[in-house]
């Protein structure tokens, strides 16, 4: 029986058509600025996000970290929401590479009032001056939840009024756009820099972009080289991104419907809790009431269902291009059966 891999939307394998597009890509040396496919991808993503420029980088981590480094000095502070990926899951890069510190607000999504209260001005030599407010949309560790647009606008204008810079970790901005019906550029409005990933729901094997004003992207270009991210015939990878944007963006609603089907199938199951009001996109958080997440995950693996732990009693399941409705319903049956036996 086929394995149902719900560990992440990063586990997808390039489709045959994507591989063909990669094989056919026109390429050049991108460190010399000579790769036409990379250029085309950068131009089209800048257009989609509504920024002056965009830069192709290998990973979402690099996109976030060079954008943050480009706009901070060592000792500066970045305001983040709870469990922001750029703090929790990027190997300490913000501290190691930018030398910035973080101030984490209590919730994943936060308000303009919280930003104003957290802000510290550089007029006080005792404090770390707050330079950047970083938002994650959708928010991974919160279960793929989407920000309210009015709240986003309030946060970004409060930050700008205080002279701060705004950064959007939009690794899954595509999912937020599909879930809200608002185009990506509307969700990115108000942000000075934006990172987006091609290797999550869009199904490309690698690649992210950092988007922003031309002068900031020029600084990011240097930082990409400094951090070892200057790739040569990168058009092979960029072609996968071009293909993903053309063919896999509009279908993300299928992943969202599959996530909802999984969540609904598990919501009433014995020994499990799923908050359906927080299933906005392609991620489902499943709480195990008796027993640990790892114990359930271990048994599910033997039954061909792969899941990730998001805490000692919390399982994270992510839908994507390589799982269909039958797959998620089989996963739901397996998870419910295991949880019942633990309950
Ligand atoms: C919200 C978010 N931002 C950034 C990243 C980093 O992407 P990458 O794994 O390509 O470095 C991820 C990866 O899962 C993510 O979920």
**Cα 94 to averaged position of ligand 1 atoms, centre (Å):** 14
Q: Which of 222, 247, 272 is the last residue of a domain?
A: 247
Helix ranges restricted to H, the chain: 16-24, 36-49, 60-70, 85-88, 93, 112-118, 149-161, 173-180, 184-188, 214-226, 235-247, 252-267, 293-302, 325-342
Determine the average pLDDT of the residues in 190-203.
98
Q: Note the pLDDT tens digit of each residue in 44-64.
A: 999 999 999 999 999 999 999
Complete DSSP assignment for 54-67: EEEES-HHHHHHHH
**Quick check: 137 and 173 in contact, CB under 8 A?**
yes
| Probe residue for ligand 1, chosen from 85, 91, 135 as the CB with the greatest number of ligand atoms within 8 Å | 85
**Could you tell me if 48 and 142 lie in one domain?**
yes
- Per the domain annotation, does 1 fall within a domain? no
**Cα 208 to averaged position of ligand 1 atoms, centre (Å):** 9
**Cα 282 to averaged position of ligand 1 atoms, centre (Å):** 15
**Cα 58 to averaged position of ligand 1 atoms, centre (Å):** 11
Strand bridging mode 101-104 / 77-80: parallel
Q: What is the CATH number of the domain that holds 330?
A: 3.90.1150.10
Q: Note the pLDDT tens digit of each residue in 87-123.
A: 999 999 999 999 999 999 999 999 999 999 999 999 9
- Which of 81, 238, 95 is CA-nearest to residue 169? 81
**Could you tell me if 294 and 193 lie in one domain?**
no
Determine the average pLDDT of the residues in 239-262.
98
- Per the domain annotation, does 2 fall within a domain? no
Q: Which pLDDT score, from 0 to 100, does residue 342 have?
A: 85
**Cα 85 to averaged position of ligand 1 atoms, centre (Å):** 7
Q: Which atom of ligand 1 is nearest to the CA of 138?
A: 1
Q: Which of 247, 262, 286 is the last residue of a domain?
A: 247
Domain extent, residue 120, equals 16-247
Determine the average pLDDT of the residues in 315-339.
98
The tokens describing 22, both together, are 């990669």
Determine the average pLDDT of the residues in 150-171.
98
Q: Which pLDDT score, from 0 to 100, does residue 240 have?
A: 98
- Per the domain annotation, does 273 fall within a domain? yes
- Per the domain annotation, does 24 fall within a domain? yes
- Per the domain annotation, does 6 fall within a domain? no
Placement of tokens 């998620």 in the chain: 328
- Per the domain annotation, does 9 fall within a domain? no
Where does the pLDDT of residue 180 fall: very low under 50, low under 70, confident under 90, or very high at 90 and above? very high
Q: Which of 232, 247, 262 is the last residue of a domain?
A: 247
CA dihedral 170, 172, 175, 181 (to 10 degrees): 0
| Probe residue for ligand 1, chosen from 65, 145, 171 as the CB with the greatest number of ligand atoms within 8 Å | 171
**Could you tell me if 232 and 332 lie in one domain?**
no
**How high does pLDDT run on average in the chain?**
97
**Could you tell me if 311 and 257 lie in one domain?**
yes
Within 13 Å of residue 216, how many CA atoms lie on the same side as its CB?
Answer: 26
Q: Which residue has the higher pLDDT, 318 or 342?
A: 318
Determine the average pLDDT of the residues in 165-183.
98
Q: Note the pLDDT tens digit of each residue in 138-156.
A: 999 999 999 999 999 999 9
On the question of pLDDT at 343 being above 80, the answer is no
**Could you tell me if 43 and 135 lie in one domain?**
yes
The tokens describing 171, both together, are 């690794």
**Could you tell me if 53 and 185 lie in one domain?**
yes
Q: Can you say whether the dihedral through the CA atoms of 172, 113, 92, 130 is positive or negative?
A: positive
**Could you tell me if 171 and 319 lie in one domain?**
no
**Could you tell me if 198 and 172 lie in one domain?**
yes
**Could you tell me if 241 and 255 lie in one domain?**
no
């Amino acid at each position: 029986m086929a394995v149902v891999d719900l560990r992440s939307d990063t586990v997808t394998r390039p489709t045959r058509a994507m591989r063909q597009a990669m094989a056919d890509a026109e390429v050049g040396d991108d460190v010399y600025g000579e790769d036409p496919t990379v250029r085309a991808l950068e131009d089209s993503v800048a257009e989609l996000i509504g920024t002056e420029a965009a830069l192709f980088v290998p990973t979402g981590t690099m996109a976030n970290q060079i954008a943050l480094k480009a706009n901070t000095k060592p000792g500066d502070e970045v305001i983040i929401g709870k469990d922001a990926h750029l703090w929790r899951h990027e190997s300490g890069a913000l501290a190691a590479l930018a030398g910035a510190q973080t101030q984490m607000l209590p919730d994943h999504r936060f308000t303009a009032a919280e930003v104003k209260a957290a802000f510290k001005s550089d007029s006080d030599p005792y404090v770390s001056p707050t330079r950047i407010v970083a938002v994650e949309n959708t928010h991974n560790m919160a279960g793929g939840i989407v920000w309210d647009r009015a709240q986003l606008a309030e946060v970004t204008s409060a930050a700008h009024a205080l002279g701060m810079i705004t950064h959007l970790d939009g690794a899954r901005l595509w999912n937020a756009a599909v879930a809200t019906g608002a185009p990506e550029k509307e969700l990115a409005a108000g942000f000075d820099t934006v990172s987006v990933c091609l290797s999550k729901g869009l199904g490309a094997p690698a690649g992210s972009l950092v988007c922003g004003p031309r002068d900031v992207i020029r600084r990011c270009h240097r930082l990409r080289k400094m951090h070892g991210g200057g790739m040569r015939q990168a058009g092979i990878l960029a072609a996968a991104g071009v293909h993903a944007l053309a063919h896999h963006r509009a279908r993300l609603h299928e992943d969202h419907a599959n996530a909802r089907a999984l969540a609904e199938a598990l919501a009433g199951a014995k020994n499990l809790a799923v908050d359906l009001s927080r299933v906005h996109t392609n991620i489902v958080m499943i709480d195990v009431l008796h027993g640990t997440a790892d114990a359930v995950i271990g048994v599910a693996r033997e039954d061909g269902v792969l899941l990730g732990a998001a805490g000692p009693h919390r399982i994270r399941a992510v839908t994507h291009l390589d799982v269909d409705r039958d797959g998620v319903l089989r996963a739901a049956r397996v998870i419910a059966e295991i949880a019942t036996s633990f309950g």
